Amino acid sequence: MESKDSVKAPLLQCKQISKSFGGVEALKKVSLDIYPGEVHGLIGANGAGKSTLIKIISGDITQDSGEIVFDGAPLSLNGPQDAYKLGFSFIHQELNLVPKFSVIENLTLGMEKETKFGLIHWQTVSKRVTEVLNQIGLDLPLNTIVDTLSVADQWLVSIAHALMRNIKMICMDEPTASLSAEESSKLFKVIENLTSNGVAVLYVSHRLDEIMQLCSGISVFKDGECVLTTNKSKTTRDELVTAIVGRKGTAVVQDATERFKSEKVILSTKNLSWGTRVKDVSFDLQEGSIIGFAGLVGAGRTELANLIFGVEHPDSGNMELVGQEYHPKNVADAISSGIGLVPEERRSQGLVLKDSVKFNINMLNLKSIRFSKLFGLINNGKMTGISKSIVDRLQIKTPNVNTAVINLSGGNQQKVVIGKWLTRDLKVLILDEPSRGVDVGARSEIHKRIKELANEGKGVIVISSDNEELPLICDIVYVMAEGKIVGKLEGSEITKESINYKSYEHILQKNSESL
């Protein structure tokens, strides 16, 4: 891999880039240079501004001020297609593949194909696809359906899609979060091959071992600023962690409204384990309590939620719900036991977007007798009344309850997902990234509703990558890393800085143990 010392000029320059959302500064005069043939690591705690910069480089959003220079010339992007035409490729954590399409269909999606007499000349297309797959060492039938592949092979298919074009830079966002060590090693070889051919790689990861192994240049983001840019030969893991975490801060003052408190344990887990993703997790959730789970990407938080909600089944350990053994056979069993889950991907997992607000709010109760008339017909009047009640309670902004959910804002869609659980007699509600992609006003309203649920005596679990969010609403925050609970914070201990430090502390410990 070439270092930036061996080339004359950067491929891409970000100069004094700033961006605000609703008065909140996401980026503050950030400058960053990316060189041909270089793997440049971009690291920082959750909410540091990494994703915002990537969206600007990809043309998804436009900076408020500052300049982007590409190959020595000022760059103006009107959208992602402009970036792709220039040779930029972006592989996000949520891979942009069509699951039911074949490998060859995904690799050629959106691209002009060789034709003969107006028909696609698949023999010529297949030859090109095979060449690209060979380039990255992926040997599989071209008609393989993508969702039958491992996550690692899906990543390689995404890289192959980028290589079908003449790419100059590729951005990878947490590429190894779901990969095994062997799969990660395979990906690293592909990255080395890319850079040896002059491709620049912007590598976003929380895993400092990978950053130190792969990257020649490293930039650290904190609170929207680039606080450190260095070469890996001139830094250490300890220095990087210090730059990421910064100094410890003060506790966020929650509102002074008295909340319902109880010593009664609603949900308890003991040494819960599932493969390498969840390891010996034990905690108690009390009636009226809000507990948070923090951690870096791949820490095991969502996997823990899936075990509680019956999506997956633990290999070992036990759960109790209101003092009784709890082993949900499936999601339906968990729901009937009084467990609810607001998923991280609300649009694909929590809503039927083309259906109405009324349908989505009532979807968990469509088979219930209270909605049925003679011959099992749906009681539309009752559905309307319940949905209007939830809309009023959560202040969902919609023209009426018959409006399709797809037409609502992200914040109001999230309220609909929460609202459907308010139609059930819940004991525990789990919210995975409850305020992701919503504006400040909607975020505040969602926090208010979470506290109301706790005041009703329900136990609430909040999983969040926003370390400014958890101090606002949680009584206890558990920090996870590599599937384990590595820290517990209570009361005034719960600060953004403390959460960040606990998230990275195990890296420092592993580093000192290896010396």
Residue-wise pLDDT for 16-40, tens only, equals: 999 987 777 889 999 999 999 999 9
Q: Is the Cβ–Cβ distance between 470 and 462 less than 8 Å?
A: yes
> Is the per-residue pLDDT at 486 higher than 90?
yes
216: helix, strand or coil: coil
pLDDT of residue 2: 46
In this structure, are strands 217-222 and 290-295 parallel, antiparallel, or unpaired?
unpaired
pLDDT tens sequence across 331-360: 999 999 999 999 887 777 888 888 999 999
pLDDT of residue 131: 86
Structure tokens, 14: 């970000």
The percent of residues above 90 in pLDDT, for the chain, comes to 39
pLDDT of residue 258: 63
**Cα dihedral sign, 53-72-34-235:** negative
* Neighbouring residues of 493: CB distance < 8 A, sequence distance ≥ 6: 251
Residue ranges matching CATH 3.40.50.300 in the chain: 4-245, 263-338+426-515
Mean of the per-residue pLDDT values of the chain: 85
pLDDT of residue 117: 47
pLDDT of residue 114: 53
pLDDT of residue 113: 52
The tokens 């949680």 sit on which residue? 474
Q: Is the Cβ–Cβ distance between 474 and 507 less than 8 Å?
A: no
Nearest alpha-carbon partner for 471 in 250, 287, 244, 246: 250
pLDDT of residue 479: 95
Q: How far apart are CA 128 and CA 473, in angstroms?
A: 53
Q: How far is CA 107 from CA 127, 161, 173, 468, in A?
A: 12, 5, 19, 39
Q: How far apart are CA 130 and CA 137, in angstroms?
A: 10
> Is the per-residue pLDDT at 513 higher than 80?
no
pLDDT top residue among 101 and 182: 101
pLDDT of residue 309: 96
pLDDT top residue among 414 and 23: 414
> Is the per-residue pLDDT at 515 higher than 50?
no
* Neighbouring residues of 238: CB distance < 8 A, sequence distance ≥ 6: 508, 511
Nearest alpha-carbon partner for 423 in 400, 466, 394, 463: 394
DSSP 8-class letter at 252: P
- The stretch 471-478 carries a mean pLDDT of 94
pLDDT tens sequence across 179-221: 667 778 888 888 998 899 899 999 998 778 889 999 999 999 9
List the single range of 131-145, 163-177, 242-256, 292-306 with lowest mean pLDDT.
242-256
> Counting beta carbons within 10 angstroms of the beta carbon of residue 233, is it exposed (0 to 12), middle (13 to 18) or buried (19 or more)?
exposed
pLDDT of residue 5: 47
Structure tokens, 223: 């609170």
Q: Is the Cβ–Cβ distance between 133 and 139 less than 8 Å?
A: yes
Tell me the one-letter amino acid at 43.
I
Assign domain 263-338+426-515 to a CATH class.
alpha beta
- The stretch 281-291 carries a mean pLDDT of 96
* Neighbouring residues of 116: CB distance < 8 A, sequence distance ≥ 6: none
Tell me the one-letter amino acid at 297.
V
pLDDT top residue among 262 and 373: 262
Q: How far apart are CA 317 and CA 327, in angstroms?
A: 10
Give the count of alpha carbons within 13 A of 141, CB side only.
6
End-to-end alpha carbon distance in the chain:
27
pLDDT top residue among 327 and 97: 327
Assign domain 4-245 to a CATH class.
alpha beta
Nearest alpha-carbon partner for 45 in 424, 504, 418: 504
- The stretch 224-241 carries a mean pLDDT of 90
> Is the per-residue pLDDT at 376 higher than 70?
no
pLDDT tens sequence across 255-274: 655 666 788 999 999 999 99
pLDDT of residue 369: 43
- The stretch 377-403 carries a mean pLDDT of 86
Tell me the one-letter amino acid at 312.
E
**Cα dihedral sign, 167-168-173-175:** positive
* Neighbouring residues of 117: CB distance < 8 A, sequence distance ≥ 6: none
> Is the per-residue pLDDT at 403 higher than 60?
yes
> Is the per-residue pLDDT at 237 higher than 90?
no
Q: Is the Cβ–Cβ distance between 430 and 463 less than 8 Å?
A: yes
Nearest alpha-carbon partner for 30 in 48, 47, 10: 48
pLDDT tens sequence across 37-96: 999 999 987 678 888 899 899 888 899 999 999 988 898 888 888 888 888 888 876 677
| Beta carbons within 10 angstroms of residue 331's beta carbon | 14
Q: How far is CA 162 from CA 111, 128, 132, 257, in A?
A: 11, 13, 10, 53
> Is the per-residue pLDDT at 444 higher than 60?
yes
Nearest alpha-carbon partner for 157 in 144, 173, 171: 144
Q: How far apart are CA 93 and CA 51, in angstroms?
A: 11
What is the side-by-side strand order in the sheet with 12-21?
Answer: 24-34, 12-21, 65-70, 73-75
pLDDT of residue 505: 77
